[in-house]
Structure 1
Amino acid sequence: MEERLLQVGETVRYARTSSLEALYEGYLNFHHLTLSPRASDKRIILESGINAVAPLTAIDGARRPAIVIRSSPWKAGTEDTPWHDEFDLDHGHIRYFGDHKVTTIGPVGSTRGNRALLEAWRLHTSTSSAERASAPPLLVFAARPEYVGGRRIEKGYLDFAGVCVIERLEFVVQRDPRTGRSFPNVVVDLAVLSLDQNDEVDWNWINDRRDPSRTALDSLNRAPDSWKTWVRRGRVSIPSLRRRVMSSRVLSRADQLPEPGSIEAGLLEAIYHFFDDKKHAFELLASRVAAWVLDAQGGNYSEQWLTRSGGDGGMDFVGRLDVGKGAGSSPLVVLGQAKCIKPDSSISPDQVARLVARLRRGWVGVFVTTGVFSHQAQVEIVDDAYPVVLVSGGRLASTVRRIVHESYDGDVQSLLREVADTYESHITHRRPEEALTTA
């Protein structure tokens, strides 16, 4: 049987066309890639965000072959896409919002997509290897605009993001930016699994899962090794199976800043100018941004206090990060450093080293700036494996945009004024380890 290989990052062309040729307009044709050898199998379509392949009854019971997700992260924050899907493929993480909308009638799970996610969540968190074998893999594509002949095309170009397992599912409340009304939804944290050396998956694995004459275990033959290991061992194996691209942790200056002319670029300039003459107040905004960043990465972060200006010795704010749940949770001290500098300025290795020097065993550092981190500063963090999260101007701006969208009706000035007005009340003189004893 012909191999149907798909590489992470590869662009596929999806169009409403009957063409089944291998290439379409020079790109891998999605319809050819996903074509089943059985004429009775319907074509997989991507007309929704969550596209659940039809379930079947195989010789060993019912199963859903796969769930194919199409996200449009570039449209985040628009009226069509009010949520913000997060893609961090270099660290094997995707945060994806379900398909419940403000116009949806019925509880969460009444939509076809969310219902499929809830069904998959039950199997992905099962302690039974037999149930995990029947669990549908999530194959995620990120839509993006493409310029063809000088014309911007916003539909039909999809970058493959990988094969995923659901790590966590939450019920959330979102606000529709057009009407201001709130509505419930689900959000899932997906672990992007490592594939083979070429970062490829064979779509024939999914075709095997669509074959009712095969058992769920038989259909594992062409599955990625990481998926097979997950089926055998379950959730405990996910950290070792997660996709990681270490070299890409060192980012260029352009990658650390918003795209010129974008909403985030204007937002970053507004933040810098607002705090330029009151830089200490920026520490409170940095603390809030750190909370959002660490929460998005799967932790449970709580803000604690700001340190007194002038004597911080490399730390501006203190937080607490609880890893795990219940009796198995472990609290960690988070030390934060904040620097409000011109967006085109760089943070040097010496400035990052001041924060690193304050960290004790088991503590975590966060450095938030309106600028960028120099190449050498990043290299030292990566090479020495320091537990420090770097938040540059681009990430700061995108996070602040989410904060004001969720809690300030999109008014960034309301957030900045509140930060400036309440900054003094958050300052205290306490030892960082006292954060471990707070409720």
Structure 2
Amino acid sequence: MSEAKRAKRATADADATTRTRTTRERSRRVGNDREHNAFDAVLEANDLFAHPPDAERDWLVDATVGIRTCAPYDFDFVCGVKARWAGERLCEMFAREFPMRPIEYYREAYRSGRLRLEENGRAAASSDGQNRETHEDGPILVGGQRVRHFIHRHEPPTIAEDVRVLSVTDDVVAVCKPATMPVHPTGQYRRNTVLALLASTRRDLGRLFPIHRLDKNVSGLLLLARSSKAANAMRQKMEAREMRKEYVARVKGSFNASDPTPVTIDEALGFDAKNRVALWREKPGTRDLDERALKSFKAASTKFVWLQDLPDGTSLVRCEPFTGRSHQIRAHLAIAGYAIANDVAYGGELLESARARAIQYACDVLVLSEERTLARDESLAIDYSVPRESREKNTAPCPHCPRVVHAGDLAIDLEAIWLHCVRYSGEGWEFECPQPDWASP
């Protein structure tokens, strides 16, 4: 074969190879586009404001006991691998981040395909480069991947108080949040949240963005921005301490011996994410923490003023936090020796009548665990886990059905504490929330 023919054939072969590579690359891009479009479709379907719950179909309110429950539903949970998860195995991470289910549940979900790790829309390769991972806890998580969990969900109930809209401006919506209801989807909650209820019942308000935190079992004023820009602007004011926050609490005993002189508690706080309680240096057990944990403590300051003594031996206190640590007011009141009267996590003892009714209702429809172990001395534990007949197998797709037992959470889903946010104010503006019923003699 002549040199000219060899060159011509080589050129033809190169052109064919290039066309093949181009076709493969085009197919790969099309495939990736489809995968990303499918992923975007999942995120869009999970958007509460794009697809809000149906108020008549998706909630059931039992007025006799004052409980709101959700109709069960299937849900496709998906999120990117967070930096703190990198290096952990899939099931280990889920068991740590979402401890309401045992690790055996997540292992079975991984084996069945309900729990998976994805990369570019496909099952992520394991450490040996294969898509099949033989380790019982699944593959090791890497940044850029995403986790996906197909679940049949029964959300925990909440006390059936409405989210009251107090004020609407061009930038902010002020509402009164009922206790026991989270602000936004978190953990086991999605529809039984403030954002979901407003998305369903007040579509005229549009998409809303939380500006600040308000714990699930705390009631009162909640500010929501009507745009991400407004939310960022309000958060910056909060971080710069250009906002004043005021709460009212009902505590054990006569606060500061009925002296209206302000008392300020300056005590750095940490937070035990596993047990969901604040930590301080003189708290029993805190001294056992390592130096790294102690260094994570952050400065915290709260001012308290006695308002009124009540006939049952409790008193009302105005609380003004200058910083925003988790459970700050609750912890600082405990440090001062005046725990919120019904806050059992920090030394309270009283059961509010609404909570007592809620617990009795839960006892009627839920089975109490025979094997529970409690982190604190509680009289009752009401939990949501696997059906009794499936306890050994851990294969139930529905860990929150009414016929369930559990291994150890406390009865906190329906626990409303006597702490209420009453006012947010800044230069030239103020939002105020009515006082709660328990603040009256």
**TM bucket by the smaller chain?**
under 0.3
TM-score w.r.t. length of structure 2: 0.20
TM-score w.r.t. length of structure 1: 0.20
Which protein has the larger Cα radius of gyration, Structure 1 or Structure 2?
2
